[in-house]
Amino acid sequence: MRIGVIGSGALGLYYGALLQRAGQDVHFLLRRDYQAIRRAGLTVTSPHGDFHLERVNGYQDSAQIGPVDLVLVGLKAYANAQLIELTRPLVATGTTLLTLQNGLGNEDLLAAAFGADKVVGGTAFLCCNRGQPGTVHHLDQGAIRIAEFAKGLSAKVEHLAVLFKQAGIPCEACADLTRIRWEKLVWNIPFNGLCALTGLPTGRLLACPETRQLIAEMMREVVAAANRQPLTEPLEGEGFIARLLDLTTGMGDYRPSMMVDRLQGSPLELDAIYGVPLERAAARAMPMPRVAMLHALLAATEPQAL
């Protein structure tokens, strides 16, 4: 399969590298890593085994990639103003668009531009960071869940799940995209925001009883808001939250992507992870006051707000 990766950060490089190693024809749109990867290839370090790709198809202009069978979108949601322009040269009649971006609203943007039938959304629970240019450090996790934007469980998403599994990526084909999006937000909303705001990794926040309690309370708000959405079945409450807390404790002092973005001086994905979920919760008469406060504090401490 010919695959184009738009947004070759840690997520895009990691999954794209695994797909290429499995024999897929992968083409990366590169920015920071372009020169290093063109010169020396792409290195992935991982608890599952390090590997190096000597030759990588890398480009600085998506028009040079041309039409592909699958577009894998890992672009940060704060850059979505560029998403359609970057993606358009890769789209042909039979192209599938799979966005693994954080938050809500990404599929709507792609569907409006290219048609809902082309769009698949997914969530990646992945602990991965970029190192030196041309290097990606996979730390833990990595499973993907995907579902079509326009319909329930389909042969298309089942085929994609097989493709990812063959590359060593755990992948579940699902029927309810809205549900899996909100499930990921239960983790993303408290941990991404609190780590970015405080400068503390997940382990430090969970080791403090007060912040651990705050995280659990935010998770309850997100679960309650999710269960007001049109889901095929509701999210589990306390059991799901307990499992997420235990899972994150096992990750140690992990730095979520939003914390890394703030440390690097990059914008935060505030609209996709906070703004749109808060709007959709409010539309269903389910306010999230703690989440709204965190959103306000993050917005106020963005460089352009200071």
Per residue in 84-95, pLDDT tens?
Answer: 999 999 999 999
Mean predicted confidence (pLDDT) in 184-204: 98
Same domain for 145 and 72: yes
Confidence label for 246 from pLDDT (cuts 50, 70 and 90): very high
Same domain for 27 and 143: yes
Same domain for 32 and 122: yes
Same domain for 246 and 119: no
Confidence label for 151 from pLDDT (cuts 50, 70 and 90): confident
Same domain for 262 and 219: yes
Buried b (16+ CB within 10 A) or exposed e, 224-246: bbbbebeeeeebeeeeebeebbe
Residues 6+ apart with CB under 8 A from 13: 5, 28, 33, 42, 44, 130, 136
Same domain for 269 and 137: no
How do 25-29 and 96-99 pair as beta strands?
unpaired
Domain boundary among 145, 175, 205: 175
**Is the pTM here over 0.85, yes or no?**
yes
- Determine the residue type at 153: L
Same domain for 171 and 142: yes
Domain boundary among 175, 204, 235: 175
Q: What is the CATH number of the domain that holds 154?
A: 3.40.50.720
Domain boundary among 112, 146, 175: 175
Residue 184 annotated to the active site: yes
Per-residue pLDDT at 293:
98
Same domain for 285 and 245: yes
Same domain for 262 and 182: yes
Per-residue pLDDT at 152:
80
CB 18 within 8 A of CB 59: no
Please report the beta strands in the chain, taking only residues with DSSP state E, as ranges in sequence order. 2-6, 25-29, 42-45, 51-53, 57-59, 70-73, 96-99, 119-130, 135-148, 171-173
Same domain for 183 and 164: no
Q: What tokens appear for 215 in the block? A: 């995280």
Residue 113's domain spans which residues?
Answer: 2-175
Same domain for 167 and 84: yes
Name the catalytic one among 76, 118, 151, 184.
Answer: 184
Same domain for 187 and 149: no
pLDDT, tens only, 154-171 = 899 999 999 999 999 999
